[in-house]
């Protein structure tokens, strides 16, 4: 059984002006996601600025999220690293904290071979007992996990159950699902390709958009699974201008700006991320108005 089906939010980490984690606002964001119908929370991923959290902060944020969610929906912790030993440590601690699963990004910078990727993920998965979702995002990591490697991991390592696919390559995803023959739980990692990946057998999305539009993102998936393909497709297509605005600068710069515009107090960003350019912020604000969020 999949860890979750539907819309999982790649939740932001709100910061105070001094850069410290704003746990009061984080609790509010968690509650808003649950109230909005979100099916899972993915904490300390790219959108959560995990790369600028210390290990202590990283684990504290995971623990806090698990505690506040209190079993109402699954919590999946981002615990990947380009260092296998570090990823093992973070994953074991996330399991100890009560996370329902972990999300493991392909090792960045090292540019491991397919054999190296297999051994990296197998080593981490073997060190824990909770499910693992792989995260294939070559645009950020510089390495592409091939469909054959993903399928091999899902078949041979019992607790590796699926992949967050942010390759943007529909042809590669189709090949993956053809090879998988049902053994890979597929989640879209791109908000502009949710419905296409559901049509290929996907279980849902791990979404940036859901931070500001949880109900719409949930409904996009729910309608598809209910057989209302036209309704699902309409939400997807109506959201495209907003999704494009949310990615006109590197994530999570725009989504934090969007949340601040909505009065959700996402706070500042940690360097090297900077505040959004004025022209892009104006484009984002207009897209949010057109989508009915402002």
Catalytic site residue from 135, 187, 203, 223: 135
Segment 242-260, tens digit of pLDDT: 999 999 999 999 999 999 9
In contact, 241 and 209? CB cutoff 8 Å = no
Which residues face 188 on adjacent strands?
165, 205
The one-digit pLDDT tens for each residue of the chain (294 residues) are: 789 999 999 999 999 999 999 999 999 999 999 999 999 999 999 999 999 999 999 999 999 999 999 999 999 999 999 999 999 999 999 999 999 999 999 999 999 999 999 999 999 999 999 999 999 999 999 999 999 999 999 999 999 999 999 999 999 999 999 999 999 999 999 999 999 999 999 999 999 999 999 999 999 999 999 999 999 999 999 999 999 999 999 999 999 999 999 999 999 999 999 999 999 999 999 999 999 999
Report yes or no on 193 lying in a domain. yes
Task: Count Cβ atoms below 10 Å from residue 258 Cβ, excluding itself.
Answer: 29
So what's the pLDDT on residue 1? 72
Report yes or no on 244 lying in a domain. no
Secondary structure (H, E, C), the chain: CCCCCEEEEECCCCECCCCCECHHHHHHHHHHHHHCCCCEEEECCCCCCHHHCCHHHHHHHHHHHHHHHCCCCCEEEECCCCCHHHHHHHHHHHHHHCCCEEEEECCCCCCCCHHHHHHHHHHHHHCCCCCEEEEECHHHHCCCCCHHHHHHHHHHCCCEEEEEECCCCHHHHHHHHHHHCCCCEEEECCHHHHHHHHHCCCCEEEECHHHCCHHHHHHHHHHHHHCCHHHHHHHHHHHHHHHHHHCCCCCCHHHHHHHHHCCCCCECCCCCCCCCCHHHHHHHHHHHHHCCCC
Report yes or no on 144 lying in a domain. yes
Catalytic site residue from 68, 152, 164, 257: 164
Report yes or no on 143 lying in a domain. yes
- 135 tagged catalytic: yes
CATH number for the domain that contains residue 112: 3.20.20.70
- Total domains present in the chain: 1
Segment 178-224, tens digit of pLDDT: 999 999 999 999 999 999 999 999 999 999 999 999 999 999 999 99
Report yes or no on 203 lying in a domain. yes
So what's the pLDDT on residue 243? 98
So what's the pLDDT on residue 105? 98
CA Rg value for the chain: 18
Report yes or no on 240 lying in a domain. no
Task: Count Cβ atoms below 10 Å from residue 288 Cβ, excluding itself.
Answer: 21
Report yes or no on 250 lying in a domain. no
Report yes or no on 171 lying in a domain. yes
Domain that holds residue 23: 6-228
């Amino acid at each position: 059984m999949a860890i979750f089906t539907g819309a999982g939010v790649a939740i932001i980490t709100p910061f105070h002006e001094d850069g410290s984690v704003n746990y009061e606002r984080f609790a509010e964001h968690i509650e808003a996601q649950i109230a909005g119908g979100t099916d899972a929370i993915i904490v300390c991923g790219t959108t959560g600025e995990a790369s600028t959290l210390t290990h202590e902060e990283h684990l504290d944020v995971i623990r806090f999220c698990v505690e506040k969610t209190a079993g109402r929906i699954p919590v999946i912790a981002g615990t990947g690293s380009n260092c296998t030993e570090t990823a093992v440590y973070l994953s074991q601690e996330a399991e100890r904290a009560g996370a329902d699963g972990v999300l493991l990004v392909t090792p960045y910078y090292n540019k491991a071979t397919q054999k190296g990727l297999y051994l990296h993920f197998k080593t981490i998965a073997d060190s824990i007992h909770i499910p693992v979702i792989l995260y294939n995002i070559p645009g950020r990591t510089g390495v592409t996990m091939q469909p054959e490697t993903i399928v091999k991991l899902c078949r041979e390592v019992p607790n590796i159950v699926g992949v967050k696919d942010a390759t943007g390559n529909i042809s590669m995803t189709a090949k993956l699902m053809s090879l998988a023959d049902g053994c890979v739980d597929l989640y879209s990692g791109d908000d502009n390709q949710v419905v296409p990946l559901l049509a290929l057998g996907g279980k849902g999305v791990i979404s940036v958009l859901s931070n500001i539009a949880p109900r719409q993102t949930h409904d996009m998936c729910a309608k598809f699974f209910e057989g209302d393909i036209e309704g699902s497709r309409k939400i997807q297509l109506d959201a495209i201008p907003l999704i494009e605005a949310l990615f006109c600068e590197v994530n999570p710069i725009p989504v934090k700006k969007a949340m601040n515009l909505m009065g959700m107090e996402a706070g500042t960003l940690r360097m090297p991320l900077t505040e959004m350019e004025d022209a892009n912020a104006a484009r984002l604000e207009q897209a949010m108005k057109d989508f009915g969020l402002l």
